[in-house]
Amino acid sequence: NAGVTQTPKFRVLKTGQSMTLLCAQDMNHEYMYWYRQDPGMGLRLIHYSVGEGTTAKGEVPDGYNVSRLKKQNFLLGLESAAPSQTSVYFCASSPKVWNTEAFFGQGTRLTVV
């Protein structure tokens, strides 16, 4: 049972480039989340999804887009990367309602130069 898998684990982008981070979960969870983690700031919610085909903005959504075309996958896109988006990105999933036990992936370390 893989749980939550994030791809890629590391990436370096040049300013202005685009990329997509993939999150896949095999637990049949309804809720999925994308967080970013920066030193001294904890984790901040970027976007989340309450089910296939639905997405919503979190605390820091600017500069990111997401899609949930399949229940098991949640994609995070950066259309034009900026140095301020250098961070560690975590995907998570949970079974149903808000704030139940969430399972996190191992993270993607993104550097924008």
Partner 1 sequence: LAKTTQPISMDSYEGQEVNITCSHNNIATNDYITWYQQFPSQGPRFIIQGYKTKVTNEVASLFIPADRKSSTLSLPRVSLSDTAVYYCLVVYPRGSARQLTFGSGTQLTVLP
Q: Which is nearer to partner 1, 77 or 107 (CB)?
A: 107
Who's near 71: CB < 8 A, 6+ residues apart?
Answer: 28, 30, 51, 52
* Shortest distance in whole angstroms from residue 46 CB to partner 1: 11
CA geometry: angle 34, 111, 73, nearest 5 deg: 30
Name which of 38 and 79 has its Cβ closer to partner 1. Answer: 38
Measure the CA angle with vertex 45, ends 108 and 12; round to 5°. Answer: 25
The verdict on 44 binding partner 1 (CB under 8 A) reads: yes
Q: Which residue from 27, 56, 82, 113 is in contact with partner 1, where contact means CB under 8 A?
A: 56
Residue 106 near partner 1 by CB under 8 A:
yes
Near partner 1 by CB under 8 A, which window of 16-24, 67-75, 76-84, 90-98? Answer: 90-98
DSSP secondary structure of 92-108: EEESSSTTS--EE---E
Give the binding site for partner 1 (CB under 8 A): 4, 33, 35, 40-45, 48, 56, 58-59, 90, 92, 98-107
